[in-house]
Amino acid sequence: MVEVLEASGEALDRAALIIRRGGLVAFPTETVYGLGASVFNQEAVAKIFEVKKRPRFDPIIVHVSNPEQVEHLCSEVSKTAEKLIEKFWPGPLTLVLPKSDSVPYIVTAGLGTVAIRMPSHPIALELIRRSGTPIAAPSANLFGFLSPTTPQHVVEQLGEEIDLVIDGGRTPIGVESTVLDLSSKRPTLLRPGGLPLEEIEKVLGQKIGVSTISKKPSSPGQLPKHYSPRTPLKILRNHKKVETKGRIGLLAFKKPKHQIHFEVVEVLSSSGNLREAAYNLFSSLHKLDKAGLDLIYAEPIPETGLGRAIMDRLRKAEGIENPTNR
């Protein structure tokens, strides 16, 4: 089994050494756990794809500990990018920018752009600093399945194949970063996430185009089926048409008011708080997925703020094409 070390100076030194020597380390960020390798070590990055069973067309986010590292990774940093970096880094915002020659194509899956973010989690920042290199890291789960918000989730999915897991407890935001493409004229949202779109629009003073579902994606989080439990999941659009055969579970948004019986119920936030719901989303889905159910119903979430990211993940878990209308 993989070694799991509680975060400490010593553990971070061990982890940094593993990264420098071409190994893979899972570590907490404020969004979800990442599976990290040195961005400049192509073999190590190739191993990330193997371990996650991730298709080679899916590019990986590069994590930095300092905004100045962006200059070395990008050929051009626009005024818009500078503004967003100034306002939202460190934090759950990933920016897609034109790549420089120093970024290997295996990281960007052959694209001429690179996705970069500076996480705000102190353990992630310290790991990047001690490694002395930006860290390429997708979420530390098998491709297409639920993202990990605890070290246990990482061990369950990838345990045999990675070198070390740094345990920093549960991740505070619980959904992945917002991915914003700034490589063409108009900023485009590729994945709603931990930073609400409204906040970005406020700073830029403009509406942002949305492109979050695509069969030939530039960002495979855009694939119609993704972020899925192994148990089939349906969004509960009409409480009167509930399937009753078999073992059925419910992912409720608030404390349920209806009287329908479900085998297992997970409540995202009894008071209907979107932040709390995002925090609980993946751990509730992991629990429901382990409960031996035939079907999981998920109640719809209001699509403002973090609700947009939650609904995006639920639609993709459902696997039905249903473009996110803003």
139, 150, 177, 283: which one contacts Mg ion (CB under 5 A)? 139
- Strand residues in 43-137 grouped as ranges (E): 62-63, 93-98, 113-117, 135-136
- Within a 10 A sphere around the Cβ of 149, how many other Cβ atoms? 29
Residue 171 is a binding residue for ligand TXA (CB under 6 A): no
Interface positions, 53-112, toward ligand TXA (CB under 6 A): 58-61, 92, 94, 96, 108, 111
Cβ nearer to ligand TXA, comparing 172 with 249: 172
Residue with tokens 């996705």: 115
Cβ nearer to ligand TXA, comparing 53 with 258: 53
Binding residues for Mg ion, rule CB under 5 A, total 1
Interface positions, 197-236, toward ligand TXA (CB under 6 A): 218-221
Cβ–Cβ < 8 Å for 65, 118 = yes
Cβ–Cβ < 8 Å for 309, 279 = no
Cβ nearer to ligand TXA, comparing 118 with 236: 118
Distance in angstroms (rounded) separating the CA atoms of residues 221 and 72: 26
Residue 139 is a binding residue for ligand TXA (CB under 6 A): yes
* Residue 200, φ and ψ in degrees, nearest 5: -70, -45
Cβ–Cβ < 8 Å for 188, 72 = no
Closest separation in Å from C-beta 29 to Mg ion: 12
Residue 151 is a binding residue for ligand TXA (CB under 6 A): no
Q: Which of these ranges, 41-49, 113-121, 204-212, 269-277, lies near ligand TXA under the rule CB under 6 A?
A: 113-121
Interface positions, 242-301, toward ligand TXA (CB under 6 A): none
Closest separation in Å from C-beta 146 to Mg ion: 9
Closest separation in Å from C-beta 156 to Mg ion: 15
Residue 120 is a binding residue for ligand TXA (CB under 6 A): no
Indicate the burial class of 119 (C-beta count within 10 angstroms; 0-12, 13-18, 19 or more): buried
Residue 174 is a binding residue for ligand TXA (CB under 6 A): no
Residue 59 binding result from ligand TXA, Mg ion, none, given CB thresholds of 5 to 8 Å by partner type: ligand TXA
Residue 162 binding result from Mg ion, ligand TXA, none, given CB thresholds of 5 to 8 Å by partner type: none
Distance in angstroms (rounded) separating the CA atoms of residues 42 and 40: 6
Cβ nearer to Mg ion, comparing 139 with 269: 139
* Strands across the sheet containing 33-38: 3-6, 164-167, 25-28, 33-38, 135-136, 62-63, 113-117, 93-98, 178-181, 188-191, 209-210
| Residue-wise DSSP of 127-171 | HHHHHTS-EE--BSS-TTBPPPSSHHHHHHHHTTT-SEEEE--S-
Q: In the complex, which residues of this chain contact ligand TXA (CB under 6 A)?
A: 29, 31-32, 34, 58-61, 92, 94, 96, 108, 111, 113-115, 137-139, 176-177, 179, 190-191, 218-221
